[in-house]
Structure 1
Amino acid sequence: MIIQVPALDELPALRAIERAAGEPFRGLGMAAVADDEPPSPALLTEFQRAGRALAAYEEAGPGGGPRRPVGYLLWEPVDGCTHIEQVSVHPDQARRGIGRALIDRAMGDGGRVALTLTTFTEVPWNAPYYARIGFRALPEAELTPGLRAIRAHEAALGLDRWPRVAMRRESGREG
């Protein structure tokens, strides 16, 4: 697997990955999440140009053709940490360690003391997965100002109709 900042012409493929990765939420009664629009081309371009977008690629494309992205991650600095804004893997590539590899790479590229993210607590491939790879749920008292702002924004978007949590993984700690 190759992980690198995607080229500008690959950003539409990241939107397609996001749409596909959202579909399993439908089966959990979370159609609003499944139907949510992927990050806009402008937002993806902003992350890409800042070097805060990572894409995972197959070593070679089908039949030896061109490589294609199979997962991606967006991150931003928040309160001295590398905050994972989004990580998605195409469902046909699930359970191959792609998400974990992207997260581990973000830790290195972000150069911060810890990784943070917010996620759904009751979705098996969300909080339970992140706990398995070394993240811990943050109690309310440990939320930084930036994480509080992110959680407030998520609540304003209606995401709190399903239980959510902020999580943190210290540098060098893996599950």
Structure 2
Amino acid sequence: MIRCATAADLTLLPAIEVAAGAPFRELGMTLVADDAPPTVAELEPALRDGRLWVATVEGAVAGYAVADVVDGTAHLEQVSVDPRWAGRRLGAELIEEVARWAAVRGDRWLTLTTYAEVPWNGPYYRRLGFEPIPDAEVGPQLRAIRAGEAARGLDAWPRLALRRPPAAVR
């Protein structure tokens, strides 16, 4: 089940982020695996603004998604699912919830940045309908996000910006 996050959920999300990052270690991407999870203080604005959702299984918080607005359109800032709950389409459901939020806002696109070749990143998002953003169409805020990723060393592996139209409101 996908629902809006609550204040009580905030303390659970950093551990989910750490667990979701662990599989990167198996690919030799230790910098990614060791990347610091968001703090409760960093997550609070998204909670307050209604841009934070959680996936629950059997009452337990198993994953989360954070949206933002970048260059005037919806942006999937983060989606993470604890690997213990993998294979249940929780990530896809969280992404669709963010897409519904984008559709309600009237956004033309839902954007994100990701690793091009990591199976649960670039190829996964492409299966969900995301396509690369042509370089000439990458806005200044998204360019700044990419520059920040590069400054943190995350461009040691190929990264890209993707987009898709948001889902129709059901």
TM (norm. structure 1) is 0.90
Deviations 1:43-100 (CA, angstroms, capped at 9, x unpaired): 1112111111110111x3xxxxxx1211100010112221011100110111211111
Q: Is contact 2:100–2:167 with CA below 8 Å preserved after alignment?
A: no
Q: Which amino acid aligns with 1:12?
A: T
Q: Give the superposition deviation at 1:7.
A: 1.4
Shift of 1:125: 0.3
2:83 & 2:13 partners in 1: Cα distance? Answer: 13
1:162 aligns with 2:157: yes
For residues 152 and 30 of structure 1, the distance between their equivalents in structure 2, rounded to whole angstroms, comes to 19
Residues 40-55 of structure 1 aligned to structure 2 (within 5 Å): 40-55=39-54
Q: How many residues align?
A: 165
Cα distance in 2 between the residues matched to 1:4 and 1:114: 22
TM-score (norm 2): 0.92
Any unmatched runs of 5+ in structure 2?
Answer: none
Give 1:78-117 correspondences, 5 Å limit: 78-110=70-102, 111=105, 112-117=107-112
Residue 75 (1) aligns with residue 67 (2): yes
Bigger relative CO (Cα 8 Å, ≥ 6 apart): 2
Deviations 1:117-156 (A, max 9, x none): 0000110000000000100012322211121111111111
Q: Which amino acid aligns with 2:18?
A: R
4+ residue runs over 3 A deviation: none
Asked if 2 retains the 8 angstrom alpha-carbon contact of 1:83 and 1:116, the reply is yes
Instruction: Give the letter aligned to residue 83 of structure 2.
Output: P
The alignment partner of 1:86 has SS state of: strand
Identity of aligned residues (%): 50
8 Å contact from structure 1 (residues 80, 113) kept in 2: no
* Aligned CA-pair RMSD: 1.2
Q: Which residue of 2 aligns with 1:31?
A: 30
**Structure 1: 5+ residue stretches without partners:** 61-66
